[in-house]
Amino acid sequence: MLEIGAGGRTWLLSGPTSSYALHVTEGGELLHLHWGPRIALADAEALAALPAPRYRPFESPLDGREEYPVEGGPRFVRPALSVRTEERRGTEWVFEGHESDDTSTSGTTDSTDSTDGIDDELRLRFTDAGLAITLHYRMRGDVLERWVTLANGGPAPVELLRADSATWTLPERDGWRLSQLHGRWAAESRLVRSGLTYGEKVIGSRRGHTGHQHLPWVALEADATEERGEVYGCALAWSGSWRIAVAQLPDARVQITGGAGYDDSGLLRLAAGEAFTTPVFAGLWSDGGFGGASRAWHAYQRAYVIPDADRDRPVLYNSWEATEFHISEEQQTALARRAAAIGVELFVVDDGWFGARTSDRAGLGDWRPSHDRFPSGLKPLADHVHALGMQFGIWVEPEMVNPDSDLYRAHPDWVQYQPGRKRTEFRNQLVLNLAREDVQEYLWEQLDALLSSAPIDYVKWDFNRCFTDAGWPGEPYPQRLWVDHVRALYALLDRLRAAHPAVAFESCSGGGGRVDLGVMSRTDEVWTSDNTDPLDRLATQHGFSQIHPARVMAAWVTDSPNTQLNGRVSSLRFRFVSSMAGVLGVGGDLAQWTEEELAEARDWVDLYKEIRPIVQRGDLYRLRPPDGGPSAIQYVLGDESVVLAWLQAQHYGEPVPPLRLRGLDPAATYACGETGEVHRGAVLLHHGLRTGLHGDLDATVIRLRRIPGI
Ligand code: DGJ
C-alpha cells in the first residue's frame, strides 16, 4: 500500500507488517524517515516534522539522513550516485515530482492519497542539468524493491562512475551485527555473524559474475535470535560484478549501499538520449528473527522472482561426478536406464557431448553434438530418455570459448582482450565478449538451433571462469562490457525462454558462483556447490537458506567415499537426507551401485516425492544449526510437516535432545508417518520430538500430518 502525505512530499509504503517512509523537504532534500514496523501516515509526518540536527561546522547536516546520497555538496558518506560530464563532477538535483501507478501527481499536490494495488510502484523524479534521475519503489509483501533509472536528456554525454540501486538507512540501535554469506569454490554460502564497528565493511565481486566469495546479501540486527527480534536484510538482483558497502557512521547510524560494479571508476557512458536502469536492490524488515526473515525472503522469491515456482522441480540425474568428460551415447543410455529404475524424472547429460570436447582443453563454443560420441546427434538419446519416462537435459557454457575450437579459429576477436596483452586462460578458456551484437546473435542462433534439434527439456547453463582481461579494442568506452555482458546474458535467457517456453534452466557457475535474485528470475533452479559432500553441504545449505528457498537449491547424492573432495565415507541414508532438504538429484556412478543400493535409492526417491511439495513450497524452520552436534530443519505446508535431522557425531553416549518443533498448531494433534505415533501439537512445540538419532553421520526424516477433527 502507498500513502502520500498532504503536499505530496511524504510517502509511506506498507506491506503486511512493515512500512517504509521518505520525505522531500521544502529545500529539496530527500530524507529517509522510517523502515521497520508498520506505521500510519501521521507517524511518518511526525517524523518529517522533527527538527534537523544542530548545525556543527565539521558535520554534514545530510549524512546518515539522506535516502539516496549523491556525490557533491556537504556530504561525506559513500555516494550512491557519482556522475561526471566534461564540465563537472557530482550531482545537484532538483525534485520534480512523484508518480505512482494508480495516481499520477506532481510535487505540488496537496491532497492525502492512498493506493493499495499489489504492485504499487512509486517513482520520485529528479533532474540535474538534463540528467533525469528516477528512484523507483515497489512493495511486494514486506520486501521493498528499489532501483534507479538515469536518462540523459542533455546534449552532452554523461559518465556514470557509480550508480547504486539504493541506499538503505537503519534506525539508531546499540550493537549492530552483520550477517554475510562468504565462501570460495566448493565452499560457498557459509554464514558468519560479527559486530559492526565504525567505518565500512565492503563485500562484492570484481570478477564479472556474482562469485563464490559472497552472496549479494547482508542482514543487520542488534539482538535477533533464530526466531525472535528485528532483522533487516538486503539482496541485490545482479549477476555481474557488484558491491554492497555497510557503513557505521560516526553517530552510529548504519547505511547500506549497493549496486552493479565493484569500483567507482566508470560503469557506463550515457550518450544523449541513452538511459540506464540499475538492478533491483531489495530490502526486507522482519521482526521474526533470522528464521522469520528467511521465510519472508522465500515467500517473496516464490511469489515474484522464481519462474513457475508453484511447479515442483523433478528429481534429476547428472553423471558429471561419475564420468566427467568420458561420455558416450551407449554409456549415457545405460545410466539413463538405471536412473529411471530408481525413480529419476530428469536425465541430464553434462559437459562433453559437443565439438571436440574430450577434456576441458577444447570444444567450448562449438555447440554441435560430437560425431564420435553422438553419431546421430542428441535426438536418439533424448528419445530413449523420454521413452523411459524421464525428461532430457543438457549442459552448456555459452559465454565461453576454448582457443582450440572452430569458433575461436574463426573469430579470435570475439573474446574479451586487451590489445597487445596476453589473453589469460583459466581452465583453458576465454570469455566471449557478450556486449558485441555479433556474439549475441551467434549464441542465439546456436542455442535456438540446439533446442530445436532434439526434444530438450532442461539446460544447465554453466560459467567456469572470471573476467581478467576485460578489454574491447576499437570500442570507445570498453568498460561498458562489464554491465553489457550481464544485460546480454539476461536478454539471451529471456529470448530463449520465450522461444522455448517448456525448457527449464539451471544457473551454474562452477557450483554456486552465480546465485542471485537477477539470475533466479530467469532460471528454475541453481547448482548450489560443486561440493557434494553431504556433511559440508549441511553448512552450505544452512547459509543458502538464509536468503533462498529449497525450491531452487539443487542437491545431488553422489558416491561414497566422496570422489571430488575429501574421501569421506557416509551411508546412502545420510547422503539422501542431506540432499532431500532441497531439489533432490542423484550424481553418483549408478553403474557401480549394487542392487541393494539401487533398491534403497529407489525408496529414498519415493519418499522424497511424497515430501517434495512440503520441502519445495513449505515454510522453513531451522531447528538446530549444523555446528557439530545434531542439526535439524523443518518444513511446514498446511496440515503437513516434515523434519529432516542429522547427527554428525555422538559423544559420551549422550542421547540426542528432543527437537522443539515450530509452525504447528498447539491445539492440534499430529500423526507421525514413520512410527504411526500420535503427538499433541503443544507437546511437540514445547517439549519436542525424539528423533532416535545415534552414532556418527546418522540422519532421519520424520513426517507429521495433522489429524482432522482432534
Ligand atoms: C562445473 C559444474 O559446477 C559441474 O557440475 C560440471 O558441470 C562442470 N562444470 C563441467 O565442466
C-alpha to C-alpha distance for 576 and 579, rounded to whole angstroms: 5
C-alpha to C-alpha distance for 481 and 478, rounded to whole angstroms: 6
| The three-state (H, E, C) secondary structure of 121-135, written as one string | EEEEEEEECCEEEEE
Task: Supply the pLDDT for residue 184.
Answer: 98
Whether residues 560 and 590 share a domain: the answer is: yes
**447: in domain:** yes
Residue at 311: amino acid letter: R
**Ligand 1 atom nearest to CA at 508:** 3
296 and 620 in contact (C-beta within 8 Å)? no
**423: in domain:** yes
Q: Beta-strand (E) ranges in 299-403?
A: 316-318, 346-349, 391-396, 400-401
**310: in domain:** no
What secondary structure letter does DSSP report for 589?
Answer: -
Number of domains in the chain: 3
Whether residues 546 and 631 share a domain: the answer is: no
**311: in domain:** no
Task: Supply the pLDDT for residue 13.
Answer: 97
Work out the burial of residue 356: count CB atoms within 10 Å of its CB; fewer than 13 is exposed, 13-18 middle, 19 or more buried.
middle
Last residue of a domain, one of 595, 617, 639: 617
Pairing of strands 2-4, 10-14: antiparallel
- Phi then psi for residue 473, to 5 deg, are -55, 135
Task: Supply the pLDDT for residue 709.
Answer: 83
Pairing of strands 143-152, 231-236: unpaired
Domain of 329 in residue numbering reads as 318-617
Whether residues 574 and 635 share a domain: the answer is: no
Residue 372 CB partners (closer than 8 Å, separation 6+): none
63 lines ligand 1 (CB under 6 A): no
Q: Element (H or E) spanning 246, and its range? A: strand 242-248
**312: in domain:** no
DSSP character string of 108-125: T--S-EEE--TT-EEEEE
- Threshold 0.85, pTM exceeds: yes
Task: Supply the pLDDT for residue 110.
Answer: 42
C-alpha to C-alpha distance for 356 and 372, rounded to whole angstroms: 9
Whether residues 74 and 196 share a domain: the answer is: yes
621 and 663 in contact (C-beta within 8 Å)? yes
Residue at 550: amino acid letter: A
363 lines ligand 1 (CB under 6 A): no
Q: Element (H or E) spanning 147, and its range? A: strand 143-152
**313: in domain:** no
Task: Supply the pLDDT for residue 106.
Answer: 41
Among residues 89, 107, 90, which one has the least CA distance to residue 98?
Answer: 107
CA 259 to centroid of chain Cα atoms: 14
397 lines ligand 1 (CB under 6 A): no
**30: in domain:** yes
C-alpha to C-alpha distance for 135 and 302, rounded to whole angstroms: 25
Residue closest via CA to ligand 1's atom 2 equals: 510
C-alpha to C-alpha distance for 466 and 158, rounded to whole angstroms: 29
Whether residues 283 and 350 share a domain: the answer is: no
Whether residues 603 and 698 share a domain: the answer is: no
Instruction: Convert 27-36 to b/e letters by CB count within 10 Å (16 or more is b).
Output: eebbbbbbbb
Pairing of strands 214-221, 177-182: antiparallel
CATH number of the CATH domain containing 24: 2.70.98.60
Residue 396 CB partners (closer than 8 Å, separation 6+): 367, 447, 450, 459, 460, 461, 462
Could you say which of 63, 164, 462, 619 is catalytic?
462
Could you say which of 530, 536, 619, 698 is catalytic?
530
506 lines ligand 1 (CB under 6 A): no
C-alpha to C-alpha distance for 538 and 182, rounded to whole angstroms: 15
Whether residues 574 and 676 share a domain: the answer is: no
* C-alpha 586 – ligand 1 centre gap (Å): 14
Last residue of a domain, one of 256, 277, 305: 305
- Phi then psi for residue 335, to 5 deg, are -65, -40
Whether residues 252 and 330 share a domain: the answer is: no
CATH number of the CATH domain containing 540: 3.20.20.70
Whether residues 298 and 324 share a domain: the answer is: no
Task: Supply the pLDDT for residue 54.
Answer: 87
pLDDT along the chain (710 residues), means of 10: 94 97 96 98 97 89 96 95 96 96 47 57 96 98 98 97 98 96 98 97 98 98 98 98 96 94 96 98 98 98 98 97 96 98 98 97 97 96 98 98 98 97 97 98 98 98 98 97 98 98 98 98 98 98 98 98 93 98 98 98 98 98 95 98 97 94 98 96 98 96 93
**Ligand 1 atom nearest to CA at 395:** 7
**Ligand 1 atom nearest to CA at 318:** 5
Q: Element (H or E) spanning 335, and its range? A: helix 329-341
> Dihedral through CA 77, CA 83, CA 89, CA 90, nearest 10?
-40
| Bridge partners, 132 (sequence order) | 127, 151
Last residue of a domain, one of 559, 588, 617: 617
**Ligand 1 atom nearest to CA at 350:** 7
350 lines ligand 1 (CB under 6 A): yes
- Phi then psi for residue 579, to 5 deg, are -75, -20
C-alpha to C-alpha distance for 223 and 226, rounded to whole angstroms: 10
Whether residues 604 and 658 share a domain: the answer is: no
Q: Does the active-site annotation cover 627? A: no
C-alpha to C-alpha distance for 489 and 485, rounded to whole angstroms: 6
**65: in domain:** yes
Q: Does the active-site annotation cover 530? A: yes
| Bridge partners, 680 (sequence order) | 669
Cell 499520477 -> residue:
104
CATH number of the CATH domain containing 629: 2.60.40.1180
Order across the sheet with 166-170: list the strands: 166-170, 254-260, 242-248, 199-205
Whether residues 675 and 580 share a domain: the answer is: no
Whether residues 584 and 643 share a domain: the answer is: no
